[in-house]
């Protein structure tokens, strides 16, 4: 697969994914349509599918215009179908979706929203995770619980360590600044924060990340219990560092 990062809004990333054998292209969580359509046109790719991880407007805002321009079929979480009116197909835990010859499995990862899903391409070692797992962080608990998010973190941590994690926001610098306060004795976090700060100062993106990197430097993935994760999430929500 060819995966292209498209910056959108203030800190969103949209992922344009192309399977070269079939020539099929899809877009994950289009916050808006214009940059997606422009990038696809520039590359000569025709968008056939849109995959949503959850209903939030900064993940679905481009659905209608892209669908109108390309005829793309929209797939998203069955549990949030009422909140994504452009959906053509609803999916849940264990379902399979395909991009050309390559299959992805649906993982239900609720907590940020009640029906949040992820798309896992096991053969490609790639995970499109939306707002559940971030580089050095996790999503806010808008519609779910710390217990759900802790279960998500445990589940994701069991994926192969070289799995590339394509999250939907550039939050790494802020997450890293919190992470060093959560684990002040973790040298790996300090080293990563320095690298992230340098990358951002140079205008570079810091995602995708990997499961291995998150295991070592993400306090939320390393939380030993749901109660510990809840305390971390509350502290992060109030962090102004």
Give the active site residue among 29, 58, 116, 150.
58
Give the active site residue among 18, 29, 54, 116.
54
Give the active site residue among 18, 29, 120, 131.
131
CA distance 135 to 51: 21
112 classed as catalytic: yes
Q: In this structure, is the dihedral angle defined by the CA atoms of residues 126, 210, 94 and 91, taken in order, positive or negative? A: negative
116 classed as catalytic: no
137 φ, ψ (degrees, to nearest 5): -160, -175
Give the active site residue among 112, 116, 120, 150.
112
73-93 per-residue burial string, b: 16 or more CB within 10 A, e: under 16:
bbbbbbbbeebbebbeebbee
Q: Which residues are CB-contacts of 42 (< 8 A; sequence separation ≥ 6)?
A: none
18 classed as catalytic: no
Bond before 208 cis per omega within 30 degrees: yes
Indicate the DSSP class of residue 34.
H
Indicate the DSSP class of residue 5.
E
56 classed as catalytic: yes
58 classed as catalytic: yes
Give the active site residue among 59, 116, 120, 150.
59
Give the active site residue among 18, 56, 116, 150.
56
Alpha-helical segments (H) within the chain:
34-43, 57-60, 63-70, 146-157, 172-182, 187-201, 211-217, 219-222, 226-237
* Active-site residue list: 54, 56, 58-59, 112, 131, 169
């Amino acid at each position: 697969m060819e995966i292209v990062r498209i910056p959108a809004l203030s800190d969103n990333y949209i992922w344009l994914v192309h399977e070269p054998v079939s020539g099929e292209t899809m877009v994950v969580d289009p916050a808006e349509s214009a940059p997606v359509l422009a990038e696809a046109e520039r590359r000569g790719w025709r968008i056939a599918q849109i995959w949503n991880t959850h209903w939030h407007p900064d993940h679905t805002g481009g659905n209608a215009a892209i669908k109108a321009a390309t005829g793309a079929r929209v797939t998203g979480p069955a549990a949030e179908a009422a909140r994504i009116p452009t959906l053509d197909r609803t999916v849940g835990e264990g379902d399979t979706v395909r991009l050309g010859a390559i299959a992805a499995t649906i993982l239900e990862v609720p907590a940020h929203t009640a029906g949040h899903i992820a798309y896992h391409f096991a053969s490609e070692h790639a995970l499109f995770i939306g707002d559940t797992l971030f580089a050095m962080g996790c999503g806010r608990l808008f519609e779910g619980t710390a217990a759900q998010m802790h279960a998500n973190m445990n589940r994701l941590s069991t994926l192969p360590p070289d799995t590339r994690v394509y999250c939907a926001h550039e939050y790494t610098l802020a997450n890293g600044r919190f992470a060093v306060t959560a684990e002040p004795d973790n040298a790996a976090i300090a080293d990563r924060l320095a690298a992230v700060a340098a990358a951002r100062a140079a205008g570079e993106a810091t995602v995708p990340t990997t499961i291995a990197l998150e295991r070592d430097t993400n306090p939320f993935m390393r939380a030993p219990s749901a109660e510990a994760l809840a305390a971390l999430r509350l502290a992060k929500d109030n962090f102004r560092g």
